[in-house]
């Protein structure tokens, strides 16, 4: 459901690191537009800048130069606190290692990001929201389980539910199937595909061509540049 609304516009984004007196151009002039409802796979060899791009899109890192427009607002030079607020409420993150807290139940893991939102939620509202996103990933039958009591595929589905809890405009997933076996990889990708049908926007980094083939658009990076953008 690509509805044509631009979520992100990156113009000539650069991110340079200095290591031992040498400059590393992790991002070397990235131009990219992301439209609401798109599913974009980012591929490319190790060290090509994929994670740096994700950190930049997710307000976890600031570019050295260039212009970024997020939801029609120029965010190239916004304050640290506004960045933290966008990170907490407008972007959902899914990681290779799931990053669930072992001592918390499935439900408490999923509602945790609501704590960082400015809005205040009652326990009852949190339960309702948490249960609803867990239903979307078919994990509502495991509310009181701990992460250690779940399979890898189930843990990733819970992490995906957590990424949805604030109704973000964009989900960023860095190698989300990297720790999964083939059958769980398939189930997680089917889940992402059904969420795309429901209207989420997803940027997903992968080394895996089969995973990349689920996306409508594939972007290939090399040496901090986009060398291919296949929307076919
Ligand atoms: P990928 O995710 O595609 O493997 P990264 O975005 O992690 O690539 O890294 C891109 C380049 O930037 C690499 O050459 C990497 O060594 C360098 N780099 C990444 N993060 C840092 C950092 N914090 N300090 C110095 N160099 C970095
Ligand atoms: Mg990486």
State the average pLDDT over residues 81-101. Answer: 94
Ligand 2: centre distance to CA 79 (Å)? 26
C-alpha to C-alpha distances, 142 to 39, 84, 95, nearest whole angstrom:
28, 31, 21
Among 15, 52, 63, name the best residue to mutate to test ligand 1's pocket (greatest count of ligand atoms within 8 A of Cβ). Answer: 52
Indicate whether 198 pLDDT > 70. yes
Ligand 1: centre distance to CA 158 (Å)? 28
Ligand 2: centre distance to CA 144 (Å)? 32
State the average pLDDT over residues 50-56. Answer: 97
Indicate whether 68 pLDDT > 80. yes
* Mean pLDDT across the chain: 95
Residue 10 pLDDT level (bands cut at 50, 70, 90): very high
CA-nearest residue for atom 13, ligand 1, is 47
Residue 161 pLDDT level (bands cut at 50, 70, 90): very high
The response to whether residue 177 sits with its C-beta less than 6 Å from ligand 1 reads no
CA distance 49 to 199: 27
Q: Given this model, what pLDDT does residue 30 score? A: 98
Indicate whether 189 pLDDT > 70. yes
The response to whether residue 153 sits with its C-beta less than 6 Å from ligand 1 reads no
Q: Given this model, what pLDDT does residue 117 score? A: 76
Tell which atom from ligand 1 comes closest to the C-alpha of 55. 6
The response to whether residue 15 sits with its C-beta less than 6 Å from ligand 1 reads no
Indicate whether 27 pLDDT > 80. yes
CA-nearest residue for atom 16, ligand 1, is 47
The candidate with the shortest Cα–Cα distance to 91, out of 163, 19, 189, 175, is 163
Indicate whether 126 pLDDT > 70. yes
State the average pLDDT over residues 176-197. Answer: 95
Q: Given this model, what pLDDT does residue 116 score? A: 79
Indicate whether 99 pLDDT > 90. yes
Ligand nearest to the CA of 43: 1
Q: Given this model, what pLDDT does residue 231 score? A: 87
Ligand nearest to the CA of 28: 1
Ligand 1: centre distance to CA 25 (Å)? 9
């Amino acid at each position: 459901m690509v509805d044509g609304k631009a979520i992100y516009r990156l113009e000539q984004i650069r991110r340079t690191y200095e290591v031992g007196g040498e400059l590393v151009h992790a991002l070397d002039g990235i131009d990219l537009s992301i439209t609401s409802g798109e599913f974009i796979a980012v591929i490319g060899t190790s060290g090509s800048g994929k994670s740096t791009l994700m950190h930049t899109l997710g307000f976890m890192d600031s570019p050295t130069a260039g212009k970024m427009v997020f939801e029609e607002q120029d965010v190239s030079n916004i304050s640290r606190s506004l960045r933290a607020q966008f990170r907490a409420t407008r972007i959902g993150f899914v990681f290779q290692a799931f990053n669930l807290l072992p001592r918390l139940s499935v439900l408490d893991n999923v509602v945790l990001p609501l704590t960082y939102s400015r809005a205040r939620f009652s326990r009852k509202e949190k339960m309702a929201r948490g249960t609803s996103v867990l239903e979307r990933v078919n994990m509502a039958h495991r509310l009181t389980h701990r992460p250690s009591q779940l399979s890898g595929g189930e843990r990733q589905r819970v992490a995906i539910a957590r990424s949805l809890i604030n109704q973000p405009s964009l989900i960023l997933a860095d190698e989300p199937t990297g720790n999964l076996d083939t059958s769980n990889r398939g189930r997680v990708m089917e889940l992402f595909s059904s969420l795309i049908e429901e209207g989420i926007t997803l940027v997903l980094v992968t080394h895996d061509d089969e995973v990349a083939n689920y996306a409508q658009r594939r972007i290939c990076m090399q040496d901090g540049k986009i060398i291919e953008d296949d929307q076919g």
